[in-house]
A and B are shown apart, each in its own frame.
Chain A
């Protein structure tokens, strides 16, 4: 008997309409994600990576298809329930960091815990711990504008993992970083995955990062064109330098 996957996505479809033009972002995506996986969703710009992560994170509704999280169907949740689900189970990391500029690194890392209503001592302890796990303890009191891009993204990851979510969905987390900082960040995420069993699904269009993941889901024109582990079996069209 096969264990229930953490995520199950079935025939997920989403299109956007701009004026008279309708663009299909996802055209029937099927995907299972097991707990503890470290998965990259790869593909060129416009392939549907961000849309897939948004729908998995119930940030948006698809046109058709299903998304299940731990056996619960989540793709049709009303607005309030979707917010509660995100708060309770899903950590997010965004391409543009999206830290709250007026809060310190520690306060940013503690923010989701504050939303959950945890008391000050508990949320501070958890946020400090999360920052320490990302080697950011020394920067706890700094505001985002006092941090480098890589450091900001680490704080964003600390914010995502501080609340101990079921999964962290990271949308192009390295896109705004140079290659070295990007590789370091993926290594850090990988370490959290291996040592602390944090489940990551992240999107990227940078093929140099793909040799660090367990599994690569390749998207093209809104469809999964490959779902495997070998970074070298990318379609020719994806082999960008």
Chain B
């Protein structure tokens, strides 16, 4: 070990309590930063999961899908070929993909006495993500088993004044389908979101196609069911690009481009996480500044001797900075180990006690997946060292600029 490093280490050990407290503070800040980044990552992953479970990792739509005034413009006609292409490419790219063609039909839904305009959602079932909200607490009756059945939000059923077993008639004139269909109400869903509950009408894809658009779909969603973290998702964009080439007449987007506002939110989150982390380091830096300053003041005489022996200003500056950096490196190593251990301990996800059923009622996955990338760990460690250097700058300058004779007169 170089003598200067040994000297720095032993000087830290001279004031071991103070050094341990300071290194501990640095370690705590690094640990908190890593954990904080991991929790931030968990929040981002939660947003990602919600988005992709509800909308898919890759979404194929008609070019006019955003035209709410013309139902026909939103349709992918003769969708079987497109669905087959999507399924083939998804199988080649993703592990256990779920390809979900959907068709939402604007319709007037009527009970015996009342009517209400809604969009009837049709898709193949089962769909684990959308069905997550259906359990004994939220579902009354049962879920869909045939194309002549419908499940409604409980509020919508009340609005239509229908009960399980009643007939519900849907009118959707103007399309290529029958324009009218009667369904048996087999279940009602009690959702946490009243707005969603009053608009929820679910049936099968075949049923909505017969009603309004035979052979057509509005969306072909590809769900990567094994993808849990944004950091693991390097395939959505690639699959979207491949499908964009394979289906040139359709619009293909990955979850990021399909949700630009969410992408903006995610883009804004990282700087926010880093900014708050910087505040942690400022506090640690002040503690470190205090430690290094006291250490220098107590050893003014020694620094005078070093100068007298021929140590140059930069050498003394480097000695003090070395002590500070050593302190930070030790603290950062311990903090990083602790932070990564925390992340590893919850690598398989964690549930926030008491919130699981609440999340599930919104159809959200109640499991959070921590996520910290190497860049964030490097940031935490690098910033700890940078903080140490900055904290040492002033005391080190004092030590470097003292006059040897005056310093040696100073007897601690």
Contacts and interface: CB of A to CB of B under 8 A. Distances in A.
Does A associate with B in a complex? yes
Interface of A: 54, 57, 59-60, 79-80, 83-88, 90, 92, 94, 96, 98, 100-103, 107, 110-112, 114-116, 120, 159
Interface of A is mostly: helix
B11 A87 contact: no
B405 A54 contact: yes
B222 to A, nearest CB: 63
B154 to A, nearest CB: 75
Contacts of A92: 308-309
B403 A83 contact: no
A115 B11 CA distance: 17
B130 interface: no
A25 B309 CA distance: 23
Interface in B382-412: 403-405, 408, 411
B312 A60 contact: no
B302 A100 contact: yes
A83 B307 contact: yes
A203 B309 CA distance: 18
B310 A88 contact: yes
A114 B3 contact: yes
A102 B310 contact: no
Nearest to A97: B305
A99 to B, nearest CB: 9
Interface in B1-17: 2-4, 6-7, 10-11, 13-14
Contacts of B6: 103, 107
B149 to A, nearest CB: 82
Contact of B311 (A59, A83, A90, A107): A83
B310 A84 contact: yes
14 contacts: A54-B405, A59-B404, A59-B405, A60-B405, A80-B313, A83-B313, A86-B309, A87-B309, A87-B311, A94-B408, A101-B14, A102-B13, A107-B3, A114-B4
Contacts of B116: none
Contacts of A83: 307, 310-313
A84 B405 CA distance: 16
Interface residues of B, number: 25
B8 to A, nearest CB: 9
Given A87-B310, A98-B305, 17 more contacts: A83-B311, A83-B312, A84-B310, A86-B309, A86-B310, A87-B309, A87-B312, A88-B310, A92-B308, A94-B408, A98-B308, A100-B7, A100-B302, A102-B11, A103-B3, A107-B3, A120-B2
A103 B3 CA distance: 9
A80 B312 contact: yes
A40 B395 CA distance: 39
B54 interface: no
A59 to B, nearest CB: 5
B114 interface: no
Nearest to B1: A120
A59 B305 CA distance: 10
Interface string B305-322: 101111111010000000
Contacts of A87: 309-312
Contacts of B309: 86-87, 92, 111-112, 115, 159
Contacts of A57: 308
B412 to A, nearest CB: 11
Counting chain A CB atoms within 10 Å of each CB, which of B2, B302, B310, B404 scores highest? B310
B312 A84 contact: yes
Given A57-B308, A60-B405, A92-B308, A79 B3 contact: no
A25 B64 CA distance: 96
Counting chain B CB atoms within 10 Å of each CB, which of A83, A92, A101 scores highest? A83
A233 to B, nearest CB: 32
Contacts of A85: 310
Contacts of B302: 98, 100-101
Contacts of A79: 313
B408 A103 contact: no
B390 to A, nearest CB: 25
A80 to B, nearest CB: 6
B323 to A, nearest CB: 11
Contacts of A111: 3, 309
B188 to A, nearest CB: 77
A160 B4 CA distance: 19
Contacts of A114: 2-4
A115 B80 CA distance: 80
Contact of B310 (A60, A112, A120): A112
Interface string B228-250: 00000000000000000000000
